[in-house]
Structure 1
């Protein structure tokens, strides 16, 4: 038998097994179609090993199974590599040769990571905030949301690449100020306010000076703080006068800024951040873009910490049948004790419906992204 290890997240209590499951010696533990009915069965499987027959098919199926058995590349590691690469590029942008090609290369690596593992990419926005300096991390988070929403709208690949590049570079004109403000709760000085107001033009100017010749890219950077009602900057443009992709980047920027932890203020919970944008900013955003945004992220974005109706605490690990019924894996039991493993719960069922969204302090649990998403989320 050609063995392939499976993760706890592949198994659901109350759902039939999709494969024959073996232990590490090749002994059959449970047959395909067997239904797991309680947590102790999962604990037993963990103790004895979780493997399926990767060579049980022939022809193309066999080759596909062999390919699955190969080491899974880590999307999270790729995202963090882009973080380090982007910081070096943006800090040194005035002195970079071939900056456009280098920035596009970083954008394409991020696109590959997010396209291969969109759940991990979205979760990294909430669960990977310790990586890198805030200004760069925020740009990467914004780019992840923007490229996934752009993909859901079936935009051409070349356009998605430029959207990603524009999001990654939108704030290069105030990079140092952003990092300074991250460590200060003091009111903005007149000079700092001026830098913020002028950063779209300065970012576009710096990119053009560094050799970026793509006019759409430069335009989306220039207009990413314009508002639907004309209250934005730098030019106070209205509605249809604002490029559609600048609107997309703007909305992703607002969401990621609200959910990011700052040294001087706490982040908003993801569902509260979405509500804040849709209510407080409703006159400033394009309803069509907002609808696409909600469809892609859902009411409970991946990575959100939640309490279920049965009292368990867990993490949203992916999109579900609707925006209000995402995939959730429980990590803490109803009485507050850690569970042996992460157990997938069906949030369509009343027992496992989401009751509350929690802060890190309220959830009070330790876990790694790899525990929930496997090798594709390894650091």
Structure 2
């Protein structure tokens, strides 16, 4: 009997020869070493059937001859496509949670796919929080948004790979205890009532209960879910008793609060990114956690990618890349000074006086019609 390891989207390099034989259920050979997966759609189709490699083949990792890749037209990796694919896979797991098998492995596979998206283009990952809201239901998309932001901060803080995994997994599953109710909240226009507030207050503990029942056995992951609505220093622990809230749990909590503040919810006002930073991180005029606040501000900046802004020239555009300072990102202008659409998006250097940013504007304040691919090229192709 061979020792098998399931592979995920993050293990597959589109357009590159496979370094090992790939098997399906029943140890059936599906792809030989050296074959090339040429598109994301092909990879998604194969992964839906379940793919495994033999552990001894992984150790070999032999590179095939150069001529084996001849004639294969490689598809450029797209951060947005990885995000959307990961979101769909997470959606299937969460909405079928009670009957789903191998939940831990499947969630960690989503974590890997989102991590790969971050290596392709971190700015696209941040922009997706603001510009990719139609990719799934709010409940699922919010977990993905939180995981992408938390990953960025955790890596900036040099957290270990295991820590980053647990942080992201907690973000993806923190609201499983009120998943369907969270979707129902989106149809509401009035503030949440007392019963709703009680559900929100109790859902971290309910989420932990459901995760344990599903076989999640990573204590930090469970602890971060339990504490994701808490920022005080001392709180209950999964094992019982009390403990100081770990920094990694605070990363989950702050990512949760920030992404919820900047995305559209009918029953609650949507904040502009800079206002959300102040609302989430400042308490009585001082940061609730100065160290974490500094990292979040550095990664997000005043105008994160995806923000709509008005320039000194009168043009309106979208922030596409973070700059040397928090207030001088690259902006692609879409509307001219008189509000007329430009023929194509024009990159503006906001460190120059003519294109200084006057301020951010709400997403519904400008009638912009564009695809993310127009702004980020193949990194945001669908």
Regarding TM over 0.5, the answer is yes
2:349 corresponds to 1:336: no
User: Which TM-score applies when normalising by structure 2?
Assistant: 0.76
Structure 2 residues not aligned, in runs of 5+? 1-69
Give the Cα separation in 1 of the matches to 2:286 and 2:179. Answer: 28
Shift of 1:273: 1.2
Q: Which residue of 2 aligns with 1:160?
A: 164
**Aligned CA distance change for structure 1 residues 151 and 321 (closer, same or farther; 3 Å):** same
Match of 1:251 in 2: 254
CA deviations 1:8-41 (Å, max 9, x no partner) are xxxxxxxxxxxxxxxxxxxxxxxxxxxxxxxxxx
Alignment partners' CA distance in 1, 2:270 and 2:374:
24
Q: Which residue of 2 aligns with 1:175?
A: 179
Within 5 Å, which residues of 2 pair with 1:29-44?
Answer: none
**CA pair 172-288 structure 1, distance change in 2 beyond 3 A:** same
Partners of 1:200 and 1:234 within 8 A in 2: no
Task: State the partner residue of 1:107.
Answer: 111
- Matched residue, 1:77: 81
The 8 Å contact of residues 331 and 338 in structure 1, kept in 2 or not, is answered as: yes
Taking the aligned partners of 1:167 and 1:254, their CA distance within structure 2 comes to 11
Question: d(CA) in 2 for partners of 1:340 and 1:70?
Answer: 30
Contact 1:226–1:233 under 8 Å retained in 2: no
Q: Match for residue 300 of structure 2?
A: 297
Provide structure 1 residue ranges, at least 5 long, that are not aligned to the other structure: 1-65
CA distance in 2, matches of 1:102, 1:182: 27
CA distance in 2, matches of 1:233, 1:256: 25
Q: How many residues align?
A: 309
Q: How does 1:204-243 map to 2 (within 5 A)?
A: 204-228=208-232, 241-243=244-246
User: Distance between the aligned counterparts of 2:115 and 2:99, measured in 1?
Assistant: 26
Higher relative contact order (CA 8 A, sep 6+): 1
Deviates more, 1:283-292 or 1:205-214: 283-292
Whole-angstrom CA distance in 1 between matches of 2:215 and 2:286: 36
For the 8 Å contact 2:261–2:276, the answer to whether it is kept is yes
2:362 is the alignment partner of 1:359:
yes
Distance in 2 (alpha carbons) for counterparts of 1:288 and 1:240: 20
Matches of 1:233 and 1:300, distance apart in 2:
36
Shift of 1:130: 1.1
Match of 1:194 in 2: 198
CA contact (8 A) 2:111 2:169 kept: yes
Please give the root-mean-square deviation of Cα atoms over the aligned residues, in Å.
2.4
State the TM-score, normalized to the length of structure 1: 0.77
Between the aligned partners of 1:371 and 1:108, the Cα distance in structure 2 is 26
In the TM superposition, what is the alpha-carbon distance from 1:229 to its structure 2 partner?
Answer: 6.1
Question: What per-residue deviation string (whole Å, max 9, x for no partner) do you get for residues 230-251 of structure 1?
Answer: 6x8899xxx9810111100111
Where do 4+ consecutive residues of structure 1 move more than 4 Å?
232-235, 280-284
Distance 1:331 1:163, change over 3 A: same
The Cα offsets for residues 187-212 of structure 1, whole Å up to 9 and x where unpaired, read as: 43443222211111111111111011
CA deviation map 1:30-83 (0-9, x unaligned):
xxxxxxxxxxxxxxxxxxxxxxxxxxxxxxxxxxxx9xx943122111111111
Question: Hey, what's the Cα distance between the residues in 1 that align with 2:337 and 2:330?
Answer: 18
